[in-house]
Amino acid sequence: MPLRVASWNINSVRLRAEQVARFVAEQAPDVLCLQEIKCREAEFPVAALAEAGLPYLRIAGQKGWHGVAIASRLPIEDAPVLDVCREGHARSVGAIVGGVEIQNFYIPAGGDVPDRAANPKFDHKLDFFERLTAETSCRDPRAPLIIAGDLNVAPGENDVWNHKFMLKVVSHTPPETDAMAKLKASLGFIDLAREAIPEPEKLFSWWSYRAADFRASNRGLRLDHIWISPGLREAAFRTGKALARVHDDVRSWERPSDHAPISVDLMV
């Protein structure tokens, strides 16, 4: 069964419900993981998603902030609820679709100062990674698992517009990239975007609103990720290569999110 999974930090799902519908119509994801929905469960545009062809939902909402959701064309079963956010924010939600567990995250941005002692937000970010790593370390790597979402770390030199400059900027500092590397190693996760588009090619999924023309400045970061467990390797490479992309054209739509959607194709 083909399974297209997409992830998008939508930066307010109610504000951009029409953009979600357009993306679904153009790219036909079977599962769409949304982050920063910025609404409570009862405020989520359920009817709009159903009309777009994604009637099955799992939502973790919060008033005005954070919030994550999984919308699916296929029926959803409950997935384990992960205790990874010490502050109790709505930053994770899971679902099982077609026998595949999907866990969707909006990891904290971490504030401006990359120091755990001086900045509680940065400490929270690293704590989130540590809790999630402890969780995945206990998993069976043969089981089909997808981790998706805005993980708020650009891990590689070519995942940022300027590696040397960004080493001191939250999102690409060594403590963050080390924490992400430990999470990836915990289960042997496969980063499908980088499998499909190998380094040294630059690859971004986020561009600041400050740039009048994001393509011209191209000061981007790859903050959005879809990883698979080793148990899904065959499903991802059935055609001989990984199929994954960043839909950067969406970033140019009217009143866009500052993040572009990403997607991967599996044959499960």
10-55 pLDDT tens trace:
999 999 999 999 999 999 999 999 999 999 999 999 999 999 999 9
Q: Where are the beta strands (DSSP E) in 107-166?
A: 145-150
Q: What domains can you pick out in the chain, each with its CATH number?
A: 2-267 (3.60.10.10)
At 212 the pLDDT is 80
- Contact (CB, 8 A) for 7 and 33: yes
3-class DSSP assignment, residue 124: helix
- Contact (CB, 8 A) for 232 and 196: no
State what percent of residues in the chain have pLDDT above 90: 98
Omega within 30 of 0 (cis) for the link into 144? no
At 123 the pLDDT is 98
**Does pLDDT of 73 surpass 90?**
yes
At 232 the pLDDT is 98
Confidence of residue 70 (pLDDT cuts 50, 70, 90): very high
**Does pLDDT of 145 surpass 90?**
yes
For residues 128-160, one letter each, b for 16 or more C-beta atoms within 10 angstroms of the residue's C-beta and e for the rest, the string is bbebbbebbeeeeeeebbbbbbbbbbbbbbbbb
**Rounded average pLDDT over 66-93:** 98
Instruction: Report the alpha-carbon distance of residue 86 to residue 127 in Å, rounded.
Output: 8
213-259 pLDDT tens trace:
999 989 999 999 999 999 999 999 999 999 999 999 999 999 999 99
**Does pLDDT of 211 surpass 90?**
no
Instruction: Report the alpha-carbon distance of residue 56 to residue 75 in Å, rounded.
Output: 6
Average pLDDT, the chain: 97
Per DSSP, the residues of 13-55 read TTTTHHHHHHHHHHH--SEEEEE---S-GGGS-HHHHHHHT--
Pair of tokens at residue 9: 């930090």
95-131 pLDDT tens trace:
999 999 999 999 999 999 999 999 999 999 999 999 9
Enter the pTM of the model. 0.97
